[in-house]
Structure 1
Amino acid sequence: MGLLTEQQLHNLAMNVVGKDLEDMGYEFLAVNSKKSRNPQFVATKDKQLIFVVVRAVKYPENPVLYNEELMQKVAKHAATHNAKTFYAGVGIANSVSYDLPVDSEEDYILNYSELIEIK
């Protein structure tokens, strides 16, 4: 198949974060897999609404660093719905060599620790 496109990398990150949210007991109200539309997930648990922005981050970029301006814009919108805002960066690298692009024919490594709350 070859190199993964930006959208395929984003979908991979979405799957990782979606599974994490499910494991934490969240119920999805809306899912948007387009990278250009934010947030990617709107979910609820115990009557608490959350907005989650997901980003696939290619090595050597740090997956916990986020665009402050974007996240504040999403947080402001979330506040109007009494929702909390989270950032979920998923680092993705080729397991053969971090310097190679991510290829569907080779294994890859994911670096995702947890949701980061934006206040």
Structure 2
Amino acid sequence: MSEEFTEQELHNLAMNVVGKDLEKQGFEFMSVNSQLKKDPQFVCLKNKKLHFIVVKAVLYPENPQKYNVTYMETMREHALKFKARTYYAGVGIANAINYEAPIEKGEKYIINYNGIIEI
């Protein structure tokens, strides 16, 4: 019997996906926070500009591109105090064999990530 990923483990998985993407794009990490419900997860510098990135692990059938507009606007207001740009990074995660099944350790899963979205 396999063990399901916890919410924190799924969040960490999403953080790794986004972190690698940000690295490839040349973002420099100022701070990283992988604690659940503590936003933003990444505070980065790129071209001498500050960027706040909120990461969310999203389970199938939810759409990883869809975010809570009200919450992200609040986040953007906060970022503006620091003259920072705000981004949302939704990472969809599903069981590779059966999308409806839970994501379990030791089993294959699929990632649906299309990059960061500026707010």
TM-score range for the pair, normalised by the shorter chain length:
over 0.9
Is the partner of 1:89 in helix, strand or coil?
strand
Counterpart in the other structure of 1:97: 98
Alpha-carbon RMSD across the aligned residues, in angstroms, is 0.8
| Distance in 2 of aligned mates of 1:46 and 1:117 | 16
Secondary structure, counterpart of 2:79 in structure 1: helix
Using the TM superposition, give the Cα deviation of residue 2 of structure 1 relative to its aligned residue in structure 2, in angstroms. 1.1
Stretches of structure 1 that go unaligned for 5 or more consecutive residues are none
Q: Which residue of 2 aligns with 1:8?
A: 9
Query: What's 2:109 paired with?
Result: 108
How far did 1:35 drift? 1.9
TM-score by length of 1: 0.97
Q: Which runs of at least 4 in structure 1 moved beyond 3 Å after TM superposition?
A: none
Q: Within 2, Cα distance between the matches of 1:92 and 1:55?
A: 10
Match of 1:29 in 2: 30
Shift in Å, 1:89: 0.1
Aligned equivalents of 1:36 and 1:45: distance in 2? 25
Number of aligned pairs?
118
Cross-structure match for 2:63: 62
Instruction: Give the equivalent residue in structure 2 for 1:41.
Output: 42
Q: CA deviation at 1:88?
A: 0.1
TM-score by length of 2: 0.97
